[in-house]
């Protein structure tokens, strides 16, 4: 048996890993977090940078307040974008949600407590964010989104889940 060349994680690395897990949990548990919001983050030491787009303006400040309370977080840089208010974008959100989640291949994603597919609409342009189980589901979501009348463009950023991520 050879000695491992890997060093155990340092105290700082363990702290960053803990913060990373806790930030993810806190963001997923926000009451108004929905399929029309996309939240992401980076952790560098005690600094957490919040990223993404939100439909409800108060979700931006709620996310920041929740993350600030996590032990070990010294600073929160809030770069979350508040999506503009638009009747047309609201209509597209409803139509996109129906088109995507009524597809028999994709209904499994609609019933999960934390939505794995996020539909971001900004001035008629659509971005699909999140994680799906396979390439077929990613393609189906993109095709369904592209078929909605009034959508100017679709950027399919869905990530296919790797076997080790579950």
Listed in sequence order, the DSSP H helices in the chain are 11-28, 57-68, 87-101, 107-110, 135-146
Q: What percent of the chain has pLDDT over 70?
A: 93
Buried b (16+ CB within 10 A) or exposed e, 24-41: eebbeebeebbbbbbbeb
Q: What gap in Å lies between CA 52 and CA 113, rounded to an integer?
A: 20
Count of the separate structural domains present in the chain: 2
Pair 57, 76 in one domain: yes
Condensed to tens digits (0 to 9), the pLDDT of residues 18-44 reads 999 999 999 999 999 999 999 999 999
Predicted local confidence at residue 3, as pLDDT: 53
Structure tokens at 138: 């990613």
Question: pLDDT, tens digit, for every residue of 116-135?
Answer: 999 999 999 999 999 999 99
Whether residue 162 is predicted with pLDDT greater than 90 in this model: the reply is no
Looking up residue 58, the CATH number of its domain turns out to be 3.30.1340
Task: Count how many Cα atoms sit within 13 Å of the Cα of residue 8 in the half-sphere of its side chain.
Answer: 2
Q: Kindly report the pTM of this predicted structure.
A: 0.87
Residue span of the structural domain in which 66 resides:
11-82
């Amino acid at each position: 048996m050879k000695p491992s060349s890997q060093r155990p994680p340092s105290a700082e690395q363990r702290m960053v890993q803990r913060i990373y897990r806790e930030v993810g949990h806190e963001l997923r548990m926000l009451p108004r977090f929905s399929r029309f919001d996309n939240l992401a983050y980076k952790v560098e030491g005690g600094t957490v940078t919040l990223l993404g787009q939100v439909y409800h303006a108060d979700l931006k400040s709620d996310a920041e307040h929740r993350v600030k309370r996590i032990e070990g977080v010294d600073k929160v840089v809030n770069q979350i974008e508040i999506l503009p208010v638009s009747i047309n974008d609201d209509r597209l959100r409803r139509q996109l949600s129906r088109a995507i989640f009524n597809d028999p291949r994709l209904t499994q994603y609609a019933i999960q407590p934390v939505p794995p597919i996020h539909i971001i609409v900004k001035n008629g342009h659509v971005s699909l964010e999140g994680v799906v189980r396979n390439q077929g589901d990613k393609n189906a979501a993109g095709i369904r989104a592209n078929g909605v009348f009034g959508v100017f463009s679709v950027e399919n950023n869905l990530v296919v889940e790797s076997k080790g991520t579950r």
